[in-house]
Each structure stands twice: as structure tokens, then as C-alpha cells.
């Protein structure tokens, strides 16, 4: 089965690809397919929730390619900020900051500024991920969540996005200090993608059994 992944983010691709190794599902990317970027893509994540954003992207690229499509939307939700940045995690910092520092660094700096007067015990947060899969005859959304605390300064060199600021109390590390395999074990994205993978593999197995019975 060929499954297209609706992302242009290399960090997300690095995390998702290993979860489909040794399965009958072959991942291809938008770049593999030669899908050109269009201005309307920026409006696909305009919904107030992760699931709606993920489904909007999956349906849009499914329509453009005709292939089974997987899309995800994920972000950081900070309790002291009433759930912000939430679905706007990628665009959290002002545009001028992102132009100056780059997307990830600008977002981290902006988050630290927003939390500069918030004590440690009130810096609780969680990552959430919604993964949408659109097939010709069915569409599903799967979710994953991991809880943690926002650090007062970055820690670790791995991962991407807010990983250097997200502390995992049970592991005693930031998500940026985890190996890719360790992160996939516990992360919001790993949880959601594994659930989607199991659903896809079950569908493939059922289709194979039906074909044999005919």
C-alpha cells in the first residue's frame, strides 16, 4: 500500500518514517510526488482544533494526488496561557521574530517571554497530535498526548520545535534529549501515528483475507 504523507516538515518525516518500516505500507512524501506548494495551503490550518486541521490537510492533498493520505496537526498547549499556542504553535512568534531568528528559535523565545513571570509549578503543559488518514472510502482521526513542564531555558540538541523547552518529569529529560526511538515511544506524534498504523494494517489484512475468500 502506498501512503502519502502530507507534510513539508523534515523533522516530522524523520519521526514518522521509522514507524512504518517492516510493514506493507510504503510512505511517499509530497516532494516525492512533485506536489508543488500553493498559496491556499497556508489556509488549511485555520481551524480552531488539531483534528479539523489534520483532516483538512489530508482531504486537500488526497484530492490533489488521488492517493491515500496521512496528515497530522500537532502543537504545544500551556496551561498558564489558557492552552496557547495550541493549533497556532508553528506561527506563535510574531512574523518579524521568525524572520530574524528562524521559526523554531523565535517560537521558543516568544514562549519564554510569555512565561517569564510564571513560577515552575504553574508551567505545566502538554503536546497534542491529531493524525488524519483519508482513503478513497473512509477517513479517520487518531490522537496522542504527552504531559510535561516548560523549562526556563532550552535543554538538549535533538528534536525540533518546542522540544528543547519541554521537560518530561517521569524521564528526567527534555524531549530534545531523547533519541528518535525513545521519542517515538512516548511522544504525542508517536502515539497517534502508531494508532493510525495499526488501523491501516488491520484494513490491509482484512482486504487480503477477503481477496483469498473470493
User: Annotated catalytic sites, by residue?
Assistant: 73
> 8 among the known binding-site residues?
yes
Q: Is 10 annotated as a binding residue?
A: yes
Distance, in Å, from the CA atom of 4 to the CA atom of 196, rounded to the nearest integer, reads 13
**Alpha-carbon distance 19 to 197, whole Å?**
8
Task: Judge whether 45 is annotated as a binding position.
Answer: no
CA distance 154 to 1: 40
49 annotated to bind ligand: no
Between the alpha carbon of residue 131 and those of residues 6, 50, 113, 143, the distances in Å are 10, 9, 30, 6
| 40 in a known ligand binding site | yes
Is the C-alpha dihedral spanning 148, 150, 151, 157 positive or negative? Answer: positive
Cα torsion angle, 89, 115, 174, 172, sign:
negative
Is 7 annotated as a binding-site member? yes
Residue 101 assigned ligand-binding role: no
9 is in an annotated binding site: yes
Cis, peptide link before residue 170, omega less than 30° from 0:
no
**Spatial distance between the Cα atoms of 141 and 66, rounded to a whole number of angstroms:** 19
Is residue 73 part of an annotated ligand binding site? yes
Residue 188 annotated as lining a ligand binding site:
yes
74 annotated to a ligand binding site: yes
- Rounded to whole angstroms, the Cα distance separating 104 from 36 reads 24
Annotated binding site: 7-12, 40, 73-74, 160-163, 183, 188-189
Annotated binding site for Mg(2+): 40, 73
Annotated binding site for substrate: 7-12, 74, 160-163, 183, 188-189
Amino acid at each position: 500500500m502506498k501512503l502519502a504523507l502530507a507534510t513539508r516538515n523534515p523533522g516530522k518525516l524523520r519521526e514518522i518514517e521509522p514507524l512504518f518500516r517492516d510493514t506493507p505500507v510504503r510512505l511517499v512524501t509530497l516532494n516525492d510526488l512533485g506536489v508543488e506548494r500553493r498559496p491556499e495551503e497556508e489556509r488549511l490550518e485555520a481551524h480552531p482544533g488539531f483534528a479539523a486541521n489534520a483532516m483538512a490537510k489530508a482531504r486537500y492533498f488526497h484530492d490533489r494526488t488521488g492517493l491515500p493520505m496521512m496528515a497530522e496537526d500537532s502543537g504545544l498547549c500551556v496551561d498558564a496561557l489558557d492552552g496557547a499556542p495550541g493549533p497556532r504553535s508553528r506561527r506563535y512568534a510574531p512574523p518579524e521574530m521568525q524572520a530574524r531568528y528562524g521559526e523554531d528559535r523565535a517560537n521558543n523565545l516568544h514562549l519564554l517571554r510569555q512565561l517569564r513571570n510564571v513560577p515552575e509549578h504553574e508551567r505545566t503543559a502538554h503536546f497534542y497530535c491529531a493524525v488524519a488518514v483519508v482513503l478513497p472510502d473512509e477517513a479517520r482521526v487518531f490522537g496522542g498526548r504527552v504531559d510535561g513542564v516548560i523549562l526556563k531555558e532550552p535543554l538538549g540538541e535533538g528534536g525540533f520545535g518546542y522540544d528543547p523547552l519541554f521537560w518530561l518529569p517521569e524521564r528526567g529529560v527534555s524531549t530534545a534529549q531523547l533519541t528518535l526511538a525513545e521519542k517515538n515511544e512516548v511522544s504525542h506524534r508517536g502515539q497517534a501515528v502508531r494508532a493510525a498504523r495499526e488501523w491501516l494494517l488491520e484494513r490491509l489484512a482484512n482486504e487480503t483475507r477477503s481477496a483469498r475468500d473470493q
